[in-house]
Structure 1
């Protein structure tokens, strides 16, 4: 039995599902099939990016789905090569064209590229103020990037999507985002499987009769953090979604919070600062 998806209200009042599907490194038929299965399973947030080269397939799956477009939250991101003011506006049009959907729910600056991140953000503000996108945000913005953004933005990002897991748990970033009303979203929350055999994690999973992946995803949700685990496997997709029927105790949440080992599986954004 699938339980109800949980939602968060972004700082501009729109609703976003807390759990979504990330489609990084999925191509052609695999990408399309994964999104179709995800929507059938109950996922309502699909996260892609121009850089992933699969917007066309993602759009196909969304249009072919029996789920109403208004019930699906679609995120895409501006490619690093397309950053800058005018190039970003063109890149947005191209993403919309590739997806072949009427609108994009959330548009993100994919990486904080030093030379172009300011102009890129200002382009996103223009898209938003013209009503061309429902929400705008950033990805891979650690605290120094968010502080810098505050010196020129007139719109607070609705979302900040970063690499985050119990093994990379930046409490300061969580706090800053909460204080500034920026919804934090975790990508690679399952650490690409690297810690699924951690005895500490397995002990908690056993306690709740859940898988290690389900424990990690539930942990994020209880922190109010959105997460977008990636899977193209139907069984895995269903397993990752099946996290709405249990609750991790405060003691176990604190225990999981202590797993941090600054384990990154993706580049460190600070290398760009």
Structure 2
């Protein structure tokens, strides 16, 4: 795929690509920088699910003349997963519908499958691909890179690395992926949210799961949490990161005793 894409770039004046993941390593296979410096126009849309995309690649390409790079921030738990490459040439278009991400592995060493279409821009299948890319590139979930998003993305990457380092083969990763999507979406939905780590012992952790609530004795601590804040439960006694979640409602006071006073040395509403 990498060799074919590089060959097609030789006489293309425009490249539009939408991929799930993008890595700087791909530039060792397809030299987009040299092509863009010679006048090529690039539109690049990359997904940010699982925080696998190198934002440094997008920043690097964005500095080139005629290049526009964006990220697709999934509005829910779905993964942005296309691999679509469209090359405009003088008298025709080439479209790749592929399983290859813009990574060194996706373009060279992985086992991938790609379909290459070539024909005039008026061809119905070529037009469908072009229209699909336009819808993705101008979608409400598509954003330009901002310093705020980059900082939040790197925080989420660090949290993911910590969680994966402590995960076991039996640990379900779906909750982690869901939490990541919610965390990455936070800057789009208003004030950027920081990931929280809530520390509890195994007994209280089970109480939290049963009641779907996280309590504090001091109101000022509870008031520091906001709707949309993503949190990770760290359970003591060697359990590590055990669950991920999000605050979905305003804080409230409940005077019913959730924990017996004898266990905590005081009244705990």
Q: TM-score, normalised by structure 1?
A: 0.23
Compare the two structures and name the one with the higher helix fraction: 1
Q: Which has the higher contact order (CA 8 A, sep 6+)?
A: 1
